[in-house]
Each structure stands twice: as C-alpha cells, then as structure tokens.
Amino acid sequence: MRKQIAAANWKMNLSQQEASDLLTSLLGSLSNINDNQQVIFSVPSIYIPQALGQIQGKANVFIAAQNCHQKANGAFTGEISANMFASAGVKHIVIGHSERREYFGETDALLAEKVNAVLEISSTPIFCCGEPLAIREAGTQNAFVEAQLINALFHLTADQITQVVIAYEPIWAIGTGKTATSAQAQEIHAYIRSVLSSKYGQDIANQISILYGGSVKAANAIELFSQPDVDGGLVGGASLITSEFTAIINALQ
C-alpha cells in the first residue's frame, strides 16, 4: 500500500528560534503516525541539524531539504548536494518546486539530473509538477503535466520510480488561497497515475504516492485526502501554524 504523506514546506520563513519553537509545538501535538503514514518537514537547510535533533525517536517523521544541487561535489559556491544532505541525515529532498522553476530557471532537463542525484544515494525526491493558470484556463493541464513527468522522470527504471514521491501543485493555487476542488485534484491525480501506469504498469503506478499542493488547509484537507488518488499534501502557508498543520496530518487517510 502506498504511503499517505503530510509534507510541510516552510520555504524561506522563520528565524532559527521560531523554527525550533514551531517544530516543538507541532511534534507536541502529533499523535502516533502509523507505518502507512509519513510526516515530513521541509525546513530551510541551515535549520536541518537542529530539526533532526528534535525529531529523534519519532517514528515516521522526517526532515527534508527544499532543493539540492545536481552534482555530488565541486566548485559550486553556495550550493548543497544530495550527498551532503544524506551525510547529515536527510533523505528526502523536494525537487522542482514551481518557485525553483520560476525564480531560478530550473528546467525539466535540470530536474532530471537532480532526481538522478537524489536517487543515486538512495534518497527520496519529492518531485513537484503542476500547471500555471493560463494552461488550466486553456484546459490543457493534463498534457502539460504529462510532459513534465516524461521529461524529468521517465528515464528512470521501474525500481527507481517507486522511490519517487510526486507532488502535483497547480501554480494558480499556491499561496493564493485558491484551492483546486477535490474533483479537480482527483481528476488530474488519476491522470498522472494513468500516465505512470502506461509507462511502468499499474502495479508500479499504484505504489507511487501523489500529493496535492496548493492552499491545503485544515478546512479542505479531509475532502482532498479522501479522494482515491490523492495520497496526502505538500503544504506551505498552513504548515507554519500548529493547529492547521496538525489538523492536516490528522486528515491523512
């Protein structure tokens, strides 16, 4: 059975003290996370060591990085590689968030390299895809997302693709308060799974967790997560508020 996942994306927010206080408060309100579920906190890289210390002993709770460089090491001032994260104890890395694509010019070709770098060291890429508003309005979102998957992921073997978590995040819903309806989310998640199935077979496609992201909050999480192909969420704004993110975790099926 595929994992049901609540992943926080703190982005470039919080001071060190605020990050530590928020994690303490979130962990304090967490009930037991069962083995079919995962809670992941994607924190600013500089807070990773303290966050790892805080989650020690918590089953099925993980710390993630928000990005990595595609190379293992070298003269890339200011960058951090997947190997470095793994050596520091972090084995989940968000790859290809729409903010990385938009503000840092990350292309599917580059993201394919980053995914390889993460898989090479047996870590988990949380691969983001999703369409801008104009594509949704034109009704061509399925083809748009399919191309992102083909270009960044479909060079992987069947074994490798089962290590990937996919996060579908329509750009028009990120940080806007405008959420895809549960029917819209289910429709495209089912489409993503059908695309995975046509390349890798239904068995493999059924093992891959597909998260929804874009203004997930306590008020809509239960309905979104109850859709058969929505396996949890990647959550920005609401993951910075203890009561909100706790309710989102509790909404996991």
State the residues that interact with ligand PGA by CB under 6 A.
9, 169, 174-175, 213-216, 234-238
Q: How far is the CB of 60 from ligand PGA (least distance, A)?
A: 20
Q: Is 106 an annotated catalytic residue?
A: no
Nearer to ligand PGA, 85 or 212 (CB): 212
Positive or negative CA dihedral for 171, 176, 181, 186? positive
Q: Which amino acid does the sequence have at 20?
A: S
Nearer to ligand PGA, 30 or 173 (CB): 173
The residue to which tokens 């996919």 are assigned: 166
| Integer angstrom CA distances of residue 99 from 9, 16, 107, 170 | 12, 22, 12, 12
Q: How far is the CB of 213 from ligand PGA (least distance, A)?
A: 4
- The catalytic position among 99, 106, 146, 169 is 169
Q: How far is the CB of 236 from ligand PGA (least distance, A)?
A: 2
Q: Which of 124, 204, 218 is nearest to 167 (CA)?
A: 124
User: Cα-atom radius of gyration of the chain, to the nearest Å?
Assistant: 17
Residue closest to ligand PGA (Cβ)? 236
Q: Give the whole-angstrom CA distance, residue 38 versus residue 4.
A: 6
Nearer to ligand PGA, 83 or 242 (CB): 242
Q: Is 97 an annotated catalytic residue?
A: yes
Nearer to ligand PGA, 83 or 215 (CB): 215
Catalytic residues: 97, 169
